[in-house]
Amino acid sequence: MELDARIYVAGHRGLVGSAIKRALESQGYQNVLEQTRSELDLLDQSAVAQFFAKERPEYVFLAAAKVGGISANATHPADFLYHNLVIQTNVIHAAYLYGVKKLLFLGSSCIYPKFAPQPIREEYLLNGELEPTNEPYALAKIAGVKMCEAYYRQYGSDFLAVMPTNLYGPNDNFDLESSHVLPALLRKFHEAKTMDASHVEVWGTGKPRREFLYVDDLADACVYLMKRYSHSDIGSFVNIGTGADVEIGELATMIKQIVGFRGNIVFNSEKPDGTPRKWLDVTRIEGLGWRASTTLRKGIQKTYEWYLNQHQSTVRP
């Protein structure tokens, strides 16, 4: 991937897209194409085709998606299925039509069966039932993976797919109605601290285990793969994670310490836990020469610093 290559980052304002854009620019890639949602509606097939015909990107990072936590997925299943299917279909097909050299599709670890053996290897895909709370989103992401595979098999298109574990970092979504567990907890503990609350409620039992990857590490892995490997090298897709997981209760305690909240943690067992454990096998990505470098505590500290900079008015002197 040449330094002057035309690179399109779909979803450049989101958590993953913005991190990929930072990674590219830090490595000397300055010809990064970006379009806001108002400039290019990725749900509009004609508009997407016109963009590709005009701009002719050589490389594409497909990080645009509709994402959310358990509550958002349960409330808007049709939106999660439709929006993600249409976005990825439009972009992947346009990349084929207009001769993109290489495309990297961002999937999600939720594509794996709810009770997959741990750690989860790439070949466990479609070997069991999905977690019901995010099944529509998972089905859309599975379709994206299979599209990349199908376009490679039929047309030879060099379309890669990666399956990151749970992500967090700068530009995350901190809306309590639609965010994932880590940013939601960061906001809850911060607001509890500023209001001198006695406790913070955490959904579920606190027993499920999750793996968390700092988003700048993911971006580094994506650029690394785009520069060095092709579909034929990595197979249909590759997991990206840290190789370690943590109980939600332990995560809550760590965030409490980082934020400096002095109250108690109360677990609401009437709320859903979701998948009992989701821990990715990262043997394949490590075999390709890449390994995550940011510890969970350091990543949370960086994320909280970013959050404070964005919300100075809510920080008590």
> Does residue 164 have a known ligand-binding role?
yes
CB-CB contact of 186 with 176 (8 Å): no
How many Å apart are CA 60 and CA 56, to the nearest integer?
A: 10
> Does residue 141 have a known ligand-binding role?
yes
> Does residue 290 have a known ligand-binding role?
no
> Does residue 311 have a known ligand-binding role?
no
Catalytically active residues, by annotation = 137
> Does residue 190 have a known ligand-binding role?
no
> Does residue 166 have a known ligand-binding role?
yes
> Does residue 213 have a known ligand-binding role?
no
> Does residue 204 have a known ligand-binding role?
no
> Does residue 288 have a known ligand-binding role?
no
> Does residue 210 have a known ligand-binding role?
yes
> Does residue 167 have a known ligand-binding role?
yes
Residue count (the chain): 317
> Does residue 107 have a known ligand-binding role?
yes
Q: Can you read off the two tokens belonging to residue 41?
A: 């509606």
> Does residue 203 have a known ligand-binding role?
yes
- As annotated, the binding site for NADP(+) includes 11-17, 106-109, 141, 164-167, 180
- As annotated, the binding site for substrate includes 188, 203, 210, 273
